[in-house]
Structure 1
Amino acid sequence: MARNIIHSGGCLCGSIRFDAQGPALNPHTCSCKMCQRHSGALTTVWVEFPKDAISWTGPGGPPSTYRSSEKSTRAFCPTCGSTLGAIDDAPTIALLLGVFDRTNRQELKPLAHSYKGGRPEWWTVTVSGAKT
Protein backbone atom coordinates (compact mmCIF):
# COMPACT_ATOMS: atom_id res chain seq x y z
CA MET A 1 0.00 0.00 0.00
CA ALA A 2 2.76 2.49 0.90
CA ARG A 3 4.25 2.09 -2.60
CA ASN A 4 1.09 3.70 -4.06
CA ILE A 5 1.62 7.00 -2.21
CA ILE A 6 2.44 9.79 -4.67
CA HIS A 7 4.17 12.95 -3.46
CA SER A 8 4.03 15.66 -6.15
CA GLY A 9 5.80 18.99 -6.38
CA GLY A 10 7.82 21.32 -8.52
CA CYS A 11 9.62 24.57 -9.00
CA LEU A 12 8.32 28.13 -8.71
CA CYS A 13 7.49 28.56 -12.41
CA GLY A 14 6.07 25.03 -12.87
CA SER A 15 8.48 24.01 -15.61
CA ILE A 16 10.10 21.28 -13.51
CA ARG A 17 7.53 18.98 -11.84
CA PHE A 18 7.94 15.60 -10.20
CA ASP A 19 6.03 12.67 -8.79
CA ALA A 20 7.79 10.73 -6.04
CA GLN A 21 6.23 7.31 -5.54
CA GLY A 22 6.29 5.38 -2.30
CA PRO A 23 7.16 6.18 1.27
CA ALA A 24 9.37 9.15 2.04
CA LEU A 25 12.74 8.09 3.46
CA ASN A 26 14.98 9.85 5.96
CA PRO A 27 13.10 13.13 6.39
CA HIS A 28 15.61 15.41 8.13
CA THR A 29 16.85 18.94 8.49
CA CYS A 30 20.40 20.03 7.69
CA SER A 31 22.42 23.11 8.60
CA CYS A 32 25.69 22.33 6.78
CA LYS A 33 27.34 25.14 4.82
CA MET A 34 26.75 23.39 1.48
CA CYS A 35 22.99 23.19 2.11
CA GLN A 36 22.98 26.81 3.27
CA ARG A 37 24.69 28.00 0.09
CA HIS A 38 22.55 25.75 -2.10
CA SER A 39 19.28 27.04 -0.66
CA GLY A 40 20.03 30.45 0.81
CA ALA A 41 18.45 29.23 4.06
CA LEU A 42 20.10 28.52 7.41
CA THR A 43 18.43 25.11 7.57
CA THR A 44 17.00 22.91 4.84
CA VAL A 45 14.46 20.11 5.14
CA TRP A 46 15.16 17.03 3.01
CA VAL A 47 13.17 13.95 2.07
CA GLU A 48 14.80 11.07 0.22
CA PHE A 49 13.46 8.65 -2.40
CA PRO A 50 15.10 5.95 -4.52
CA LYS A 51 16.02 7.34 -7.96
CA ASP A 52 13.65 4.94 -9.68
CA ALA A 53 10.75 6.28 -7.58
CA ILE A 54 11.02 9.79 -9.10
CA SER A 55 9.38 10.79 -12.38
CA TRP A 56 10.09 14.24 -13.83
CA THR A 57 6.67 15.19 -15.20
CA GLY A 58 6.79 18.91 -16.05
CA PRO A 59 7.25 20.47 -19.49
CA GLY A 60 10.88 21.28 -18.62
CA GLY A 61 11.79 17.61 -18.12
CA PRO A 62 14.45 16.80 -15.53
CA PRO A 63 16.09 19.67 -13.64
CA SER A 64 19.43 21.22 -14.49
CA THR A 65 22.27 20.09 -12.27
CA TYR A 66 25.49 21.32 -10.71
CA ARG A 67 28.12 18.87 -9.43
CA SER A 68 28.55 20.08 -5.83
CA SER A 69 30.74 17.36 -4.32
CA GLU A 70 32.36 14.00 -5.02
CA LYS A 71 29.10 12.26 -4.08
CA SER A 72 26.27 14.56 -5.10
CA THR A 73 24.81 16.86 -7.73
CA ARG A 74 22.42 19.70 -6.88
CA ALA A 75 19.22 20.04 -8.92
CA PHE A 76 17.52 23.31 -9.91
CA CYS A 77 15.17 24.82 -12.47
CA PRO A 78 17.05 26.56 -15.30
CA THR A 79 14.12 28.93 -15.87
CA CYS A 80 13.23 30.29 -12.42
CA GLY A 81 16.30 29.13 -10.46
CA SER A 82 14.32 27.20 -7.84
CA THR A 83 16.39 24.78 -5.80
CA LEU A 84 14.82 21.31 -5.98
CA GLY A 85 17.20 18.96 -4.24
CA ALA A 86 20.22 16.73 -4.67
CA ILE A 87 20.77 13.75 -6.93
CA ASP A 88 23.27 11.56 -5.13
CA ASP A 89 25.62 9.06 -6.73
CA ALA A 90 24.04 6.47 -4.46
CA PRO A 91 20.66 5.51 -5.87
CA THR A 92 18.97 8.37 -3.99
CA ILE A 93 17.32 11.67 -4.83
CA ALA A 94 16.83 14.02 -1.88
CA LEU A 95 14.17 16.64 -2.48
CA LEU A 96 13.69 19.80 -0.46
CA LEU A 97 10.41 19.73 1.43
CA GLY A 98 9.47 23.23 0.30
CA VAL A 99 9.03 22.11 -3.32
CA PHE A 100 6.32 19.56 -2.45
CA ASP A 101 2.71 20.50 -3.17
CA ARG A 102 1.58 19.12 0.20
CA THR A 103 4.14 19.77 2.93
CA ASN A 104 1.90 18.95 5.87
CA ARG A 105 1.89 15.18 5.39
CA GLN A 106 2.99 13.46 8.60
CA GLU A 107 5.41 11.13 6.78
CA LEU A 108 7.40 14.18 5.61
CA LYS A 109 8.03 15.48 9.15
CA PRO A 110 11.78 15.66 9.89
CA LEU A 111 13.03 13.14 12.44
CA ALA A 112 16.65 14.29 12.77
CA HIS A 113 18.87 17.36 12.31
CA SER A 114 22.21 17.00 10.50
CA TYR A 115 25.13 19.37 11.03
CA LYS A 116 23.57 21.23 13.96
CA GLY A 117 26.91 22.95 14.54
CA GLY A 118 26.61 24.72 11.18
CA ARG A 119 23.73 26.90 12.31
CA PRO A 120 24.25 30.23 14.08
CA GLU A 121 23.89 29.95 17.87
CA TRP A 122 20.76 32.12 17.80
CA TRP A 123 19.02 29.87 15.24
CA THR A 124 17.00 27.03 16.74
CA VAL A 125 15.32 24.13 14.98
CA THR A 126 12.83 21.82 16.63
CA VAL A 127 12.76 18.25 15.36
CA SER A 128 10.37 15.67 16.81
CA GLY A 129 9.82 17.79 19.90
CA ALA A 130 13.52 18.13 20.69
CA LYS A 131 15.06 21.60 20.44
CA THR A 132 18.34 21.45 18.52
Structure 2
Amino acid sequence: MKAPHPDGLVPHRGYSGMGREKGAAKTASEIDNELEEEEYFTAPDYKGGYEIGSGDNRVQHNIWLPEEVLPGFRKDTTDLFWKLNNTANAILDALTMSLDLTELEAKSIRDLHTGHEY
Protein backbone atom coordinates (compact mmCIF):
# COMPACT_ATOMS: atom_id res chain seq x y z
CA MET A 1 0.00 0.00 0.00
CA LYS A 2 1.60 3.25 -1.15
CA ALA A 3 -0.58 5.79 0.72
CA PRO A 4 -2.59 3.95 3.38
CA HIS A 5 -5.04 5.61 5.71
CA PRO A 6 -3.33 5.35 9.11
CA ASP A 7 -4.88 3.46 11.99
CA GLY A 8 -6.71 5.82 14.33
CA LEU A 9 -8.78 8.92 13.73
CA VAL A 10 -6.01 11.42 12.97
CA PRO A 11 -5.02 12.05 10.31
CA HIS A 12 -8.13 11.20 8.32
CA ARG A 13 -6.15 11.13 5.09
CA GLY A 14 -4.86 8.70 2.51
CA TYR A 15 -6.50 5.68 0.92
CA SER A 16 -9.26 3.80 2.72
CA GLY A 17 -10.05 0.57 0.93
CA MET A 18 -13.31 -1.35 0.97
CA GLY A 19 -14.22 -2.54 4.45
CA ARG A 20 -11.88 -0.06 6.16
CA GLU A 21 -14.65 2.21 7.43
CA LYS A 22 -18.08 1.32 8.78
CA GLY A 23 -20.53 3.83 7.33
CA ALA A 24 -23.47 2.07 8.98
CA ALA A 25 -21.99 2.36 12.49
CA LYS A 26 -23.55 5.80 13.05
CA THR A 27 -26.97 4.45 12.12
CA ALA A 28 -26.39 1.45 14.39
CA SER A 29 -25.68 3.74 17.34
CA GLU A 30 -29.10 5.39 16.86
CA ILE A 31 -31.12 2.14 17.01
CA ASP A 32 -32.70 0.68 20.15
CA ASN A 33 -33.20 -2.85 18.79
CA GLU A 34 -30.04 -4.89 19.62
CA LEU A 35 -30.50 -7.41 16.80
CA GLU A 36 -30.98 -4.69 14.19
CA GLU A 37 -28.07 -2.73 15.69
CA GLU A 38 -25.79 -5.78 15.32
CA GLU A 39 -26.82 -6.12 11.66
CA TYR A 40 -25.65 -2.55 11.01
CA PHE A 41 -22.35 -3.07 12.84
CA THR A 42 -21.59 -6.25 10.88
CA ALA A 43 -22.81 -4.99 7.48
CA PRO A 44 -20.03 -4.98 4.88
CA ASP A 45 -18.87 -1.57 3.68
CA TYR A 46 -18.18 -1.47 -0.05
CA LYS A 47 -16.93 2.08 -0.40
CA GLY A 48 -13.36 3.18 -0.72
CA GLY A 49 -11.92 6.66 -0.79
CA TYR A 50 -8.83 8.80 -0.92
CA GLU A 51 -9.05 11.70 1.53
CA ILE A 52 -7.05 14.90 1.18
CA GLY A 53 -7.38 18.40 2.56
CA SER A 54 -5.46 21.62 2.88
CA GLY A 55 -1.70 21.24 2.75
CA ASP A 56 -1.49 23.83 5.53
CA ASN A 57 -3.37 21.72 8.07
CA ARG A 58 -0.84 20.78 10.75
CA VAL A 59 -3.01 18.09 12.38
CA GLN A 60 -4.63 16.43 9.37
CA HIS A 61 -1.58 16.19 7.09
CA ASN A 62 -2.04 14.75 3.62
CA ILE A 63 -0.70 11.32 2.73
CA TRP A 64 0.36 11.23 -0.91
CA LEU A 65 1.21 8.53 -3.38
CA PRO A 66 4.80 8.81 -4.58
CA GLU A 67 4.86 11.03 -7.70
CA GLU A 68 6.31 8.24 -9.84
CA VAL A 69 3.37 5.94 -9.02
CA LEU A 70 0.76 8.29 -10.48
CA PRO A 71 2.35 11.40 -12.03
CA GLY A 72 0.30 14.56 -11.53
CA PHE A 73 -2.09 13.04 -8.97
CA ARG A 74 -1.01 15.34 -6.13
CA LYS A 75 -1.25 18.51 -8.23
CA ASP A 76 -4.53 17.54 -9.88
CA THR A 77 -6.28 16.54 -6.65
CA THR A 78 -5.00 19.62 -4.83
CA ASP A 79 -6.28 21.83 -7.68
CA LEU A 80 -9.64 20.04 -7.55
CA PHE A 81 -9.82 20.45 -3.76
CA TRP A 82 -9.44 24.25 -4.03
CA LYS A 83 -11.87 24.53 -6.98
CA LEU A 84 -14.48 22.63 -4.97
CA ASN A 85 -13.72 24.82 -1.95
CA ASN A 86 -14.34 27.93 -4.07
CA THR A 87 -17.63 26.44 -5.29
CA ALA A 88 -18.68 25.64 -1.72
CA ASN A 89 -17.87 29.22 -0.67
CA ALA A 90 -19.96 30.63 -3.53
CA ILE A 91 -22.90 28.51 -2.35
CA LEU A 92 -22.26 29.60 1.24
CA ASP A 93 -22.27 33.26 0.15
CA ALA A 94 -25.60 32.73 -1.63
CA LEU A 95 -27.05 31.17 1.52
CA THR A 96 -25.85 33.99 3.75
CA MET A 97 -27.36 36.53 1.33
CA SER A 98 -30.67 34.66 1.26
CA LEU A 99 -30.74 34.72 5.06
CA ASP A 100 -30.21 38.49 4.95
CA LEU A 101 -27.30 38.28 7.39
CA THR A 102 -25.26 41.33 8.30
CA GLU A 103 -21.76 41.54 6.82
CA LEU A 104 -20.31 40.72 10.25
CA GLU A 105 -22.50 37.60 10.54
CA ALA A 106 -21.63 36.53 6.99
CA LYS A 107 -17.91 37.05 7.68
CA SER A 108 -18.07 34.95 10.84
CA ILE A 109 -19.58 32.09 8.81
CA ARG A 110 -17.04 32.51 5.98
CA ASP A 111 -14.21 32.42 8.53
CA LEU A 112 -15.33 28.93 9.59
CA HIS A 113 -14.99 27.63 6.01
CA THR A 114 -11.52 28.59 4.81
CA GLY A 115 -10.68 25.17 3.43
CA HIS A 116 -7.89 24.78 5.97
CA GLU A 117 -9.98 22.88 8.58
CA TYR A 118 -8.32 24.40 11.63
TM-score higher than 0.5: no
TM-score by length of 2: 0.19
TM-score by length of 1: 0.18
Higher strand share: 1
- Please say which structure displays the higher CA radius of gyration: 2
If asked which structure has higher relative contact order (CA below 8 Å, sep 6+), I would say 1
